[in-house]
Structure 1
Amino acid sequence: MSDLMNIPCPHCSALNRVPAERLGQKPVCGRCKQALFDGKPLTLTESNFDAVAMRGDLPLLIDFWAPWCGPCRQFAPVFEQAARSLEPQLRFAKLDTEAQPAIANRFGIRSIPTLIFLKGGREVLRQPGALSPPQLKQFIDHAMGLG
């Protein structure tokens, strides 16, 4: 019997039970029939944050950023490339701190960009500042090894 993982749909927020070995086979949502993984960071807002970020069995890496932030804009392609290459082992998401100040305050974001790694809806690791591709990989590897 395979391990079932609860995966929130990034489109309709429905919780889907997917066998772990099928994560890489482009699973679709049972409710809306859209792909559970798009190979790109999903956008978090007040309306979908708790349903997507705080539920499910997949770890989640959130990039807290703002459109006016130069380092945030420089880091964006690095983050997007990581999402393309590392999904579905973990989910990537972006949260615009200007558009979603309540969530930024909830996480105590004081500088941007800031990365927060969540497992089971709980913060495991935090990293302020833009990272190079090797630094991001090292951060992810470290976070994935934590319990």
Structure 2
Amino acid sequence: MGLQEISVEYVIAVSVRAGLGLLFGIMLGMAGLITAAIVAPGGLFAMPLWLLVTAIAIGCSISGTISYFKPETDWVTFGKTLAIVFAGAMIGAWIGVWWGEVFYPEGVRNERLVAYGDFRSPPNMARIMWSAIGSTATGGFYYAFRAWRFHEV
């Protein structure tokens, strides 16, 4: 299947799933942050940064996996999708950490590997946004590859 044989059906399927994945990724990333703040022993003020990033990535990877989920796929493909999406969410969340440090220095000045107090603070939103973008992008690339290679939509 060459580039000239890609139909509009594939493009629409990937685009709609990517839009929904990004939207729900932001919501579930916030849910992961709030859940980690409730479950963590010290709460949001004493949570280490790696735990914060992992909680955000878990929420966003759930969204990315659900948005590209197909009930008729086998468990091996589902596991690959989950692993790829989680890796993209983790990479995106760490990019969000660095993005937040560069563009919002007043929000992370006193952080020292501890999360900022408000989950709506600009550094935390940068982490959530980049994690949602990373999970949606990697899931979308894998879904587009499966659509191109195996004609799955």
- Shared fold (TM-score, shorter chain, > 0.5): no
* TM-score computed with the length of structure 2 as normaliser: 0.25
The structure with more helix, counted as a fraction of residues:
2
* TM-score computed with the length of structure 1 as normaliser: 0.26
| Bigger relative CO (Cα 8 Å, ≥ 6 apart) | 2
The structure with more strand, counted as a fraction of residues:
1
